Structures are given as C-alpha cells and as structure tokens.
Structure 1
Amino acid sequence: MNDSVLPERSIALSPSLAASIGLEEALLLQHLQQFALFNSANGQASSGSCSLHSLSTQLPFWNAASLRRILQSLVGLGMLMLDQMPDSEQQAFEFTLQCERSERKIAASTQAAHTQATPAASLGGTRIQPNWQPGASVLEQIRAQGIDAEFALAEVAEFILYWQERNEISHSWSSKFLQHVTRRWQHKLQSAAEQAARKNQQTDNGYSGMQRGWQPNQDAVDILLRMGVNRNFIDDAIPEFVLHWRERGVEQKTWNSKFVNHIKYQWAKYTHAMANETDPAPMQENWQPQQKVYDVLALANIDENFARQLVPEFVMYWREKNELHHSWNTKFLQFVKYQWARNYRLENNGENKHGGRANEQRKTRDRSLVEDLSDRSWAG
C-alpha cells in the first residue's frame, strides 16, 4: 500500500510548556521553531517568513482568525516578534523567535517533566492575586481583535474569582485572560446575532409591541359602533388599554382584534351593571359607589384604591350642585375613568413626573364636570 495511515509529519509538543503558556501557544511556537530550522541553511535559524495561508495548510485545524489570535498571544508573552500582523491570509510576514526566552521556557518545561518538583518550584508559576489586572500589552491585543476594552475590564473580577476557586498555578495569567475575554466576546456576539434574528423574524411576521400613541384603526371602531357601543366609551378605553399592554411588553400582530374583544367585554359588563338604575335622585351625604362599579373599573385595570380616593371629592361637588340624576354610579364611573386617562396623558407629556395626583391636578370644583355621557367638554 502506498498510502499511510499517518501520512503527515507529526508535531512535537511539550506538555509542560503547554501547561505553562497554553496548549495552542505551545503548539504554534514549537511548530514555528521547527519551520525555521527546516528552512535554514545551517539548522540554527530562529527566524523565518510565512503566511497565514501556509500555516493553515500545515495546521488545518486552525483557521486564519485563530492563527492571528494565537500569534498575538505569543507576542504578548514576549516569545515571538513579528514585523507586522498580517491582514490577509496571503500576506507574508517575518517572525523571530525570542530564542533565549523560548529556549529557557522550553528547557524549564522539559526539566519539570522529569523532576518531582512542584509546578510552582520548577516553572516559577504563580497563583492569581486578588488585585491582578491585565497589562497594557494585553489590552492592546484585545483591542486589535476588535474587542471593546471596557468589556474586557468588566470581566476581570469574574476571571480572578474563577481562578482563585480553582487554586491553579500559571506562568501567564495575561494569556489566560486573553483567551477568556475572546471566548466571552464571541459568545456575546453570537447571542446578539441570535436575538437580532429572532427580532427580525417577529418583525417579518407582523409582530410588534404596543406603542405609546397607538390608536385603533377605523375598521375596529366601526365594528364597535355597529354593535351599539358609545363612541365616548371607546375613546375613554384607549389610554387604559395602551397602558395595560405597554406595561406587559408583549408583542402581537392583532392589536385591533384584541381591542375589539376588550371593549365588547367591558361594554357588556357596563350596560348590565347600569341597566336597573332609572329613578333620578339627589346625591346623599353618605353615598358610596356599588361594588359593581369597582368590578367594571377592574376590567379596565384601574386601581380600586385610586377610585375610592375620589369618592369624597365627587360627593361634595354634586351635593353642592344639588342636582338629580338617574345613576350616580354611572356618573362616578365616568369621573374615575376620566381622571385615570388624564393621569396617563400627564405622565406621557412629562407633566406628572412623580406619578401621583397630589398637587398636580385641579380639584373638581375648579373645572367643569360632564353631566351627560355624550358631553365631551371635560375630556379635552
């Protein structure tokens, strides 16, 4: 047979060196050393010329981006010098092994593999310190990879905590930090891309969130009017409907259908609750709205405590007016919904910055109040 199971030349790797500077760094460093020796005339060269393309051909398990990252790491460790960092796969670059440092590192690694000394004693490694910080050269390498320096610095605390808990020793915490930040940055970019893809898919499908100034389209309004729903009742319900769904942050593609169903249910409850109130009567001093009023308000997501706080003001105003009305419950319901909608508009316009009504609203006696459901003078 002409074909060998292992047709390629094997790559030498020092396990101790890999433990000291990182597996990828040790593998590429020793490969470059062999590459320089193979291409030298006297077998003693410590420099050479190559490209990312040639390296990826010789080391096919790495692409150009990975090779560029590992080269930057070796430069940061001070074990390799480049005349320039290649911008493309075909661009040739000159490299020089820092022979004294590389040989010392390799020799120390080899010696450690044959002695009983601890890693700290044989290799000079250290445990990470609580106040460790990446050096300027590492941050420069991080920026060269297009990673935000602020993102890298935000990872320092987690990086220190992780390695303190593992209680391991390393010769180059800078190299480990560079690898850590690179992985986290790639994960962040991937997550952002997936989120953007999901958002685009939702947009393509017609989904959207509730917008601040949303209004039902004319078709939805026409359907409700044909069902006999009062137009003023529809207008009053829009602010509470918008507020309810903005707070929930959900996305829909059928907001108009949802609004129609919401109004149909509210209108049915409202008309049923008010059907039996026919005899006109004056406002009584101890008047209180019936529970069904609060039930209707609850359907509109209006807080019951908010409504109860308005009762004394409402009673005093209408006792002074001394008028007769068929349904004080209906009139109180209108009044509360108006106040609730008014608060919502004030908050949207930035006029009610503290979200409360004290000292922000005028009292009922200081403005005209509607007397009939069809009168919209107070809604302006």
Structure 2
Amino acid sequence: MPVHPLISDHAISLSATLAATIGLEEAILLSVLNDAARLQTQPQARLNSDTLRRQVPFWDDSTIVRVLDSLTAKGLLQLHGPAFTQAAGIVFSFGNAPTPQIAPERNTSPAQSVTVQRVAAQPQSKPQPTRPAPMPEQWQPSEEAVQRLEQHGIPRAFSFSQLDAFILQGQEQGSNRNDWNTRFFRFIKNQWVYAQNDAGRFRRQQERTGFQPTQEEAQPITGDWQPSSDALQILQRAGIDPQ
C-alpha cells in the first residue's frame, strides 16, 4: 500500500510510559537527545543546533529552549556551555548526581533502566502550563518558522502568500493556542503538497490536450464571473468556509 504523501520524515521512537510520567514534549526531546548520545562515546554528548531543529521541525527555538529548561529542572538533563540559541550546538549529559538504585525488570535494557531510575527519583509536581491565547489580527510567523519551511524546499513567498488564509482559519475557529508557529509550519507544508499536486495535475492536463494559453485569450472580468471548482477546492482545503 502506498505511504501517505505527508509522512516522509524519520520517526521518533517514543515510550508511552515515559510520556505519561514526564510529559509528552519532554519525552520527545529526551528521546531525540538519547538517540544522539547513543552514537557517541564521550561523557558529554554534543548535538548541532541545526541538526536538533531538523529532528523536531514542528517546534520553534523558543519551544526547544522551554523543553530543555523543563528537562533540566526535572533533573533529567544537564547542559554544559552556552545556551541552545547562543551557540552552534549544545553539549549535554544525563546528570552526574547519584540516583536511587531500582532493580530493573526482566528483559529491560540498561538504557531503559537508567531512564526509569531517573524518572522515579523526580518529584511528582508538574510545571503549570502557559494559558493559551487567541490569534492576534496582525499575527506574523517567526523568522525561525519561515527559515525551517525554506529548509524543506518551500519558498518564502509561498509561505507568506498563505498567511491570510491561515489567520482567517485561526480566527474563524476561535482557537486559543500557544503554538501558532508550529500550526503555521504544518499548515504551509500541507498547502505546499496540495499546490504541487494541483500543479502536476494541471501540467498533465495541458500535455493531454495540447492547450497553451496566450495573451490573446485574456478577457476582462465580467459581472457574472464565478470561481472555478478547483479554486473553491483549494480554498476549502485552507479551512475557509464555502459560504
């Protein structure tokens, strides 16, 4: 069976138990850092900032910094040297403080045992989440979000051409969110896939019919003009009410 066109990136292995214990975002980032450290032999692992961004393209830099701080506060991570946004990479370790020894269960790997011990040693209190806010009327995506879209081959002009549709969708839905940049990144990626599919279908139609538009065929708009079904379909995909 063909795979879904939107699922083409690598998968992040994630423990459901770990996510339920320390939080979903913390479990995702800890898994990414653990995979990077597993390939290194020195006590303090290193990870390039751009590589980390590519591993979690659904987050902007502020979200990465927030989750790193959360892992540090929980005692699950130690950062050495400059902060994430102040250097070309981060240097980290999984803590040097002694932790209570907990006998691992059968068929539990050493890496899993270390994770269980560190999680069990942490207090059960959880940080209070930031209250979500509605989308501002003049909302603009962050530069980091636009640059990550460019890294995925999506031109900056295309991203901003879809900005009004994204804002309209957010305001019509009346959502209160803290991750508008993440939602914008996903929205633009979806619209880019739709646009590429529509462009390919139009090219194939031209090849079959041999139709080549010319300037002589251009006509002024009339009073009874209606948008085409393709245009309406693209707008509906953007979340705009057909009415």
Larger radius of gyration: 1
Q: State the TM-score, normalizing by the size of structure 1.
A: 0.32
Q: State the TM-score, normalizing by the size of structure 2.
A: 0.47
| Structure (1 or 2) with the greater helix fraction | 1
Greater relative contact order (Cα 8 A, min sep 6): structure 1 or 2? 2
